[in-house]
Amino acid sequence: MEFAQTELSARGEENPAFLEELEQTLALLAFDDPTTSPYADLLESSQRLKLVSELNSALLASQDQETTSRLSVLMKLVLWTQEQLQKKGLVFPKLANISSGKLESSSTTQ
């Protein structure tokens, strides 16, 4: 708590959104059972994944590296390309499920 008051609160003055997130996070400490807190959603795994992603991006940026993974860029390119092919009415093997890599035949009726 002392660290947050002395070190982090100054950053909150510069960035109100940061201060709000900090206050919500520290509010979890006030509850014996943080899952009953109004901010219990901060304990969800989706929130942890968001935090990990933001931290990873910040670390990569501080080392002058790309903050977006090449795989993510590639998948966006694949989806965009499929959309362009569909607009032109072309038949092609469409990526139906990104996580499994399952392909299906596209049709011109879509």
14 with 43, same domain? yes
Q: Is 110 a member of any domain?
A: no
| Residue-level pLDDT at 80 | 95
The number of beta carbons lying within 10 Å of the beta carbon of residue 19 is 16
Question: Residue 57: which domain range?
Answer: 2-62
| 86 located within any domain | yes
pTM of the model: 0.50
Residue 45 lies in a domain: yes
User: What is the separation, in whole angstroms, between the first and last Cα of the chain?
Assistant: 56
Residue 88 has a pLDDT of 94
Mean pLDDT by runs of 10 across the 110 residues of the chain is: 74 79 87 92 91 90 88 92 94 89 74
Residues 101 and 54 reside in one and the same domain: no
Within this chain, do residues 14 and 52 fall inside the same structural domain, yes or no? yes
Tell me the three state secondary structure of residue 102.
Answer: strand
Domain total in the chain? 2
User: What pLDDT was estimated at residue 108?
Assistant: 53
Q: What pLDDT is recorded for position 17?
A: 82
Q: CA-CA distance, 80 to 65, in Å (whole number)?
A: 25
DSSP secondary structure, 24-62, as one string: HHHHGGG-SSGGGSTTGGGGSHHHHHHHHHHHHHHHHHH
